Amino acid sequence: MREGIAGGKLGGIGRLTLVLGAIMALGPLALDMYLPALPMLEAEFAADPARVQHTVSAYLFGMAMGQLAMGPLSDRFGRKPPLLGGLSVFVAASLGCALAQNIGSFVLLRFAQALGGSSIMVVVRAVIRDRFDAIQSAQVLSLMMLVMGAAPILAPLAGGWLLVAASWHWIFWLLAAYAVFCIVTASLFLDESHPVHARIGSIGSALANMLPLARNRLFVGPALVFMFSFGAFFSYLAAAPFVFIQYFGIPAERFGIYFGVNAFGFIMVSQLNRRLVHGRGPRKVLGWGVGILAAAAAGLITCALTGLGGFAAVFGSLFFVVASLGLIASNVSAVAMAPFGDRAGGAASLLGFSQALTGVAASAAVGWIDAEGAIPMACVVAVCAAVSLVAYLALVKSDRTPPASAP
């Protein structure tokens, strides 16, 4: 039986949202908190900017590979065991990052950190699909953005403060401590949502059940929108510290303020999304988000190529790029997973894998483009936004989804 959303009451849904939101916050913390330290890592490890950006790419690649494995594991063994195991790996890798002596070992440890952290995204999406239908899933995911929304605002601010007060090493000590908190929270307050009788008999069967998803139009269309819209976001993540701090001269300790403003826009639009999907459905609202992303990307590349408006114009365009994801993230996940309740873990796994793999390519591509300032970032954002728009118009806009049966 599906649970309803109890308006304004901290019942079972309230506790579930808080628990999942607190755990899911570890993802943006791991990505965002150390961003102000990227120029410092470049100096300390005597590495070039492209090599330092590989620390972002390695994390995203680890997320991709980890999520590919976590889906079948969660369909076979339930949601909690893979989550707790992955968080334990995250703790160990975070401690290793704090003690790293060179850029090579740091990159490898970031990869291991992401392998463990990948369990978060798969399990959270699977748990939500276990308990809610498509519209409820979009609303719950939007509500969780509010619960975890402080993370991308506070993380760069905290990272910048730690750089001034101590060193970048303390960022990873803090990440390890928060992951321990997540382990305790999940152990005590997260109920298993995938009962034994519904689990797939073997890992091989779970993997086999994933393959048809990759050929199913109902999944492939939303997955392409998801992949490339977040490809735009990850190229921003990888390039923003260098563009803001080194090219435009923004002080490292103030980088978190600008990053936080963009994150705040995303949070506010995510909460607006909760109202918009009611009566309209996630598919239609998703189209609005994709349209805003495409328009903002066009503005960004125009400003980057011409220099028109300077930093203010680049920052303003990026604000709408990030804010558009508030209408995309929750809705595209709900649309992609709604028809596949019996394979929620596998669907979440493939969705996360495709997102992270595109993030690897997008963040790496920023370093490959031989141009100055915001041009490399703007080019990658524009390409990703264009592919996302085409995928939505060709494969997602028309509602071909059959009614979803209750799991």
Using one digit for the tens of pLDDT, what is the confidence trace for 249-308? 988 778 878 888 888 888 889 888 888 887 788 889 999 999 999 999 999 999 999 999
Number of domains comprising the chain: 1
Q: Which of 248, 290, 295, 259 lies closest to 392 in space, CA to CA?
A: 290
4 part of a folded domain: no
405 part of a folded domain: no
- Enter the pTM of the model: 0.71
Is residue 307 within 8 A of residue 33, CB to CB? The reply is no
3 part of a folded domain: no
Please say if the pLDDT value at position 407 is more than 60.
no
As a whole number of angstroms, the longest Cα–Cα distance in the chain is 61
Contacts of 343 (CB under 8 A, 6+ apart): 75, 209, 210, 213
Contacts of 283 (CB under 8 A, 6+ apart): 331, 335, 396, 397, 399, 401
Mean pLDDT of 364-381: 89
21 part of a folded domain: yes
Structure tokens that stand for 248 in this block: 């435009």
141 part of a folded domain: yes
For residues 145 and 84, the model is more confident at 84
Mean pLDDT of 50-54: 79
5 part of a folded domain: no
- Residue-number span of the structural domain to which 380 is assigned: 13-396
Residue-wise pLDDT tens digits, 352-362: 788 778 888 88
Residue-wise pLDDT tens digits, 168-189: 888 999 999 999 999 999 999 8
143 part of a folded domain: yes
189 part of a folded domain: yes
CATH number for the domain harbouring residue 127: 1.20.1250.20
